[in-house]
Structure 1
Amino acid sequence: MSAAKPVPGLFTFVLHTHLPWLAHHGRWPVGEEWLYQSWSASYLPLVRVLRTLADEDRQHLVTLGVTPVVAAQLDDPYCLQGMHHWLANWRLRAGEAATTRTASGPSPASEPEALRRFGSREQAEADRELAEFETLWRHGGSPVLRDLIDGRVIELLGGPLAHPFQPLLNPRLREFALREGLADAEQRVAHRPAGIWAPECAYAPGMEIDFAAAGVGHFMVDGPSLHGDTALGRPVGDSDVVAFGRDLAVSYRVWSPKSGYPGHAAYRDFHTYDHATGLKSARVTGRNVPSEAKAPYDPERAAAAVDGHVADFVATVRERLINESARIGRPAHVIAAFDTELFGHWWHEGPLWLEKVLRALPEAGVRVGTLTDALTEGYVGAPVQLPPSSWGSGKDWQVWAGDQVADLVRLNTEVVDTALSTVDKALAHAAARGAPGPRMFVADQILRETLLTVSSDWPFMVSKDSAADYARYRAHLHAHATREIADALASGRTEQAQRLAQGWNRADGLFGALDARRLPSA
C-alpha cells in the first residue's frame, strides 16, 4: 500500500522520564518498588520499541528526557541488583499464577482458569525481560541510552540534579543544580544535552538567562505558557533560548485528567490486583465497575483497541498539522509530551501503541522528528515573554507553592539557607589555607542532601494526596541530614561531620561527581 500524501510540518514525541531518589528509602507500597515497577513496565519496553524501530533504519523518533536522578538509579549497582531480584520474583509470581488451582479472590479475573492463562503470558514476558536485563542492562542504563543517542534514534534532554522546582529555588543553588545535572549526563553518555525538560515545566521570568549561561538552547513548557499557540518554538525574551510548548489538543487525546485512551474497557486495569500473586490480571471493564467485578484481561481484545487508538491518534495529528499550518501560514510543529511512565507502567498497552504509532505516522504522510530537528529546520517564531507557569494543576505554581505545602516551602528555604551559609564558610576557610583546595566530602554531602530536600516530588505528592506521608517524611529526613552535618561542621566538630556525611552517603550517595567547589559564589 502506498504512503499517504505528505502533510505540512513536523511532529515530535517528547517523553519525560522521572522518579525521585528511591534507593535505600523503603520498599512497599512507596519506595524502591516504584522504581522497579517503572523500570520493568516502562523503561525496558520503551528501549525494546526504540531498538526494534532502529533495526528498521528509523531515526529521530523521540525526544527523551531522562532526569539525572533516574539516570543515577539506572546505573547504581544496588539498584541493578534490586531490579534483577524484582524481575526474578515477578517470574516466580507469574509461575505461581500459571499453576493455580484455586480462586484467590472474588474477581472473575482471579478465577483459576483465567489466572492460569494470564500467568502463562506473564511468565513468558518475565522470561523475556530477565534475558534482556541480563544482557543489555547488566552495566546500567547509560550504555543503553548512549547506543540510542549515537544511533540518532533519540535526542536526549537533560535537567538539574534531583529535579527541584526551579522558580522557588535560591538562584545560586538553581545554577549549580543545572550545571551539575548537564555535566552528569555528559559524564554518563558522552553527550551534553542541548535541551532540557525543566522540572514540572516550571518557569519564572529570567530563567532563560540562566539556561543560556549553562549552554541550554531549548526547553519545554506547557501549552498555556504560550497562550495555547504551540505551532512554533519561541525564543524567550531577548535570549536565543527557545521554548517549545506541549500541544494539549493532541496530548490530551492520549492522556488527560478526565479521559484518554488508557481508560478503555479492554486495557489492563492498573488499580486491580490479584492479591495472592500481586499480578494485575483484570481489564478496566468499565469506568464504574468495582474491582471485584472486573473481567479477565484479554490481550486480543486489548490489541484491537490499540489499533483503533493508533488510527485515531494518527488522524488527530494529521488534522492538527494541516489546520495549524493553515492558521499560521507556514508549516507547523506539533508536540505531544507525556511522562515516560505512562507507557507501560500506568498504561500497559502504551509501548505497543507507541511502536505502532511511530510506524503509522510516516505511512500517513506525517514527518516525525526531534526538538533539535525543529530548531535546525526553522520551526521557530517570534520572541515571546513567558508568564510564571508550570504543567501542574492551574498551570501555575500552586501545586508546589500553595497553602497545602506552605510548610515545605518554608522548610526548603531554611535548609537551603543553612546549607549555603555552611558550605560558603567551609570553602572560604579552605581557600584561606591555599588554593586550590581538595574536594570537601562533607560539603558535597550537605549539598547532596539539600538537593534531595528540595525535590519537586515531595510537594507534588502532598498536594495530590499521593503517598503524602511518605513525601513529608522524605523531605524532613533529608532536611535533618543537611542540618545535622552542617551543624557539626559549623561548630568545628570536623571528624563528627565527616562521620555523619559518610553515614548519610551510604543511603544518598548519588551524583558522585557533585563538587561543592563549583557552587557559584555569593
Structure 2
Amino acid sequence: MSDSEGTFCLVLHSHLPWLPHHGSWPVGEEWLYQAWAHSYLPLADMLHRFADEGREDVLTLGMTPILAAQLDDPYSIKAFHDWLGHWQLRARHASTLWRDEPLLRDLAASEHLAAVRASEELETRWRHGFSPVLRSWVDTGTIELLGGPLAHPFQPLLEPQVRDFMLRGGLDDTALRTGHRPEGIWAPECGYEPGMEHGYASAGVRRFLVDGPALRGDTSAARTVGESDVVCFGRDLEVTYRVWSPKAGYPGHAAYRDFHTWAHEVGLKPSRVTGKQVEPQDKAPYDPALAADTLRLHVKDFVDTVVGRLRELKRQNGRESLVVAAYDTELFGHWWHEGPAWLEGVLRALPEAGVRVTTLKGALDAGHLGGPIDLPASSWGSGKDWRVWDGAQVADMVEANTALQQRLLDLAREGEGTGRDAVRDQAVAEAMLALSSDWAFMVTKDSAADYARRRARVHTERFDALAVLLREGAHERARKLAAEFRAEDNPFGQLDARALIK
C-alpha cells in the first residue's frame, strides 16, 4: 500500500419503485422527476467533471434495473421533458409573486436557470436515456457499477429458483444497457440470509454490501463470506451517520433548504429549515450564501471524521484500514438540496487530507481484505433484521407473496419445452413487480401504505388473470390482455419466462 491515512469508499444506491403510469404526487411519477432533476442530473454533472479530469475510481454506484428502465423509457423521457417545462413556468410565476422580496426573487431566478439547464441536458446528453451516460463512466473507469436483481425484491423471502432468476435477470439487464455485467451488487435493502453467497457465486457476483452490525461492527476490511470467495463490505455507521441517521445528520441544519415546506401556489420550496420546532409559515426564506458557509463546515467535519476514524482503526488494527459510507443517491439533491455540492466537496477534499478515495474493487486491489466471516440474517432496515419486510404489519403480504411464487413456478413448469411466449413473459414481469420490497417498506413505515398495497395487489391480479387465460387455452384473449398490461408496465423487455425453469 502507499503511505496514506487509509481508504475511503463512497457507495451510492440509486433506486425508485416502478412508477410510470401509476399516479401522481405523493406516490407516483412526481417522485421520479424530482429525483431525476435534483439528484441524477447533478450527480451526472459531477461525474462528467471528474471524468474530464481523468479521475478514476471516484465512487461505487449501484443502479437498480427498475430505475435504469425508467430512466431509459421513452414515455418517462417525454414526460420528464414536460415536467421540466412546467418547472420553468412555475419559476417564472414565482419571480412575479416574489419580486419585492430579494432572497425569494433570486431563488425564483436560480430555479428557472436550473430548469433550463436540465432541459438542455435532457435534450442533448440524455436524449437516448441514461444508459449511454452510465456506460461512459464505466468505460472510462470513473465509477464502479453495481447491479441488482429485477424489481428490487427482498431476496431472503424469495424461493431459491425465483431468487436466482431475478438476480441473473437483473445482471443481464444491466449488461444489455451498459455493455458491462457487474461483478458486484447492492442487494436490495442489504437483505441477506446465510447461504445466499453460493447463489451469488453461481451468478458471477463477487462482492456485495451489508450493514455494519452484520459484521459485528468491524467494517475496517472486506471479508470473505463463509467458505466462498464472495466478499462482503459493511457500512461504517459511525461515519455514515454523520450525514444521515435515523435521528440526525447534516441535512437538518437550520441553514439548509427545507425539503418539507412548499409554496404551493408555485410548487417551489422557498424556506430554510430555520428550526425543528418552527411552523412552516414562520420559517425564514432560503439564503444560499448562508447555506454555502454551512456546507463548507460540514465538508470539513466529514473529512475530519473520516481521517479520525481511519487513524483510530489503524491504532486498533496495526494497519491501514477501510471506511465505507453508503447512502441512497436520492439523498443528494432530492432530499438534501445542498447534497450534490457537499458530495463533490468531500470527494475533492479527502485526497488532499491524505485519504485514498476509491471503489469497492479498488479497496480490494489496495489489500483491504480480512478473513472469512459467517454472516447472520440481516438487512439495513429497522433493527437490522427483517422486521420491515416480514413483520406483523405485512404478514398478509408475505403470505400472499409466498403463494404467488408457487403459482409463478407452476406457470413456468407448464410452459416448459415450449417456445418463448410474450404472454408468459408479461405474466412473469407482473409477478416480479408484485414481489418488490418497496411495497412492504411503505406499509411498515406507513408511507402511502394504501397505494403500496394496491400496487402489490394489482400486479398479482394481473399475473393471475394471464395465468388463467393460458390454462384455459384462450390465447387470443391472453395476448390482447398482455399487450394492454405491457403498454402500462414493461420495465423488462428482454425478460424470458423460460429461464425460471432450467
Residue aligning to 1:466:
447
1:7 aligned residue (4, 7, 16): 4
- Unaligned residue ranges in structure 2 (runs of 5+): none
Deviations 1:304-344 (A, max 9, x none): 11100000000000011111122122211110000000000
| 2:486 is the counterpart of 1:505 | yes
Offset, 1:520: 3.4
1:113-152 matches, cutoff 5 A: 113-152=102-141
In 2, Cα distance between the equivalents of 1:480 and 1:516? 18
Residue aligning to 2:45:
48
TM superposition score normalised by structure 1 = 0.94
| 2:399 is the counterpart of 1:410 | yes
Tell me the SS of whatever aligns to 1:334: strand
Aligned 8 A contact 2:103 2:287 in 1: no
- Which amino acid is 2:282 matched to? A
Aligned 8 A contact 1:197 1:220 in 2: yes
Residue aligning to 1:295:
284
Aligned 8 A contact 1:7 1:322 in 2: no
Residue aligning to 1:106:
none
Aligned residues: 501
Q: Percent identity among equivalent residues?
A: 58
| 2:59 is the counterpart of 1:78 | no
- Which amino acid is 1:331 matched to? E
2:27 aligned residue (4, 26, 30): 30
Deviations 1:329-383 (A, max 9, x none): 2211110000000000000000000011111001111110000111222211010
1:75-474 matches, cutoff 5 A: 75-100=72-97, 112-428=101-417, 430=418, 437=419, 439-474=420-455
- Which amino acid is 1:60 matched to? D
Deviations 1:275-316 (A, max 9, x none): 100100100001111111110000000001110000000000
Aligned 8 A contact 2:412 2:501 in 1: no
In 1, Cα distance between the equivalents of 2:11 and 2:501? 31
In 2, Cα distance between the equivalents of 1:325 and 1:214? 35
Offset, 1:112: 4.8
In 1, Cα distance between the equivalents of 2:182 and 2:54? 23
In 2, Cα distance between the equivalents of 1:272 and 1:254? 21
- Which amino acid is 1:262 matched to? P
Tell me the SS of whatever aligns to 1:383: strand
In 1, Cα distance between the equivalents of 2:459 and 2:411? 16
Offset, 1:410: 1.1
- Which amino acid is 1:296 matched to? P
- Which amino acid is 1:154 matched to? I
Cα 1:407–1:383 change in 2 (3 A) is same
Offset, 1:426: 1.9
In 2, Cα distance between the equivalents of 1:277 and 1:227? 48
Deviations 1:413-448 (A, max 9, x none): 1211112101210224x2xxxxxx3x2111111110
- Which amino acid is 2:458 matched to? L
Tell me the SS of whatever aligns to 2:326: strand
Offset, 1:484: 0.7
Cα 1:101–1:313 change in 2 (3 A) is closer
- Which amino acid is 2:55 matched to? R
Offset, 1:115: 3.1
Deviations 1:50-83 (A, max 9, x none): 1112222222111000000000001100000011
Tell me the SS of whatever aligns to 1:19: coil
In 2, Cα distance between the equivalents of 1:364 and 1:382? 29
Aligned 8 A contact 1:175 1:520 in 2: no
- Which amino acid is 1:445 matched to? Q
- Which amino acid is 2:441 matched to? F
- The alignment yields a C-alpha RMSD, in angstroms, of 1.3
In 1, Cα distance between the equivalents of 2:81 and 2:314? 48
In 2, Cα distance between the equivalents of 1:113 and 1:361? 36
In 2, Cα distance between the equivalents of 1:152 and 1:101? 45
- Which amino acid is 1:336 matched to? A
- Which amino acid is 2:182 matched to? P
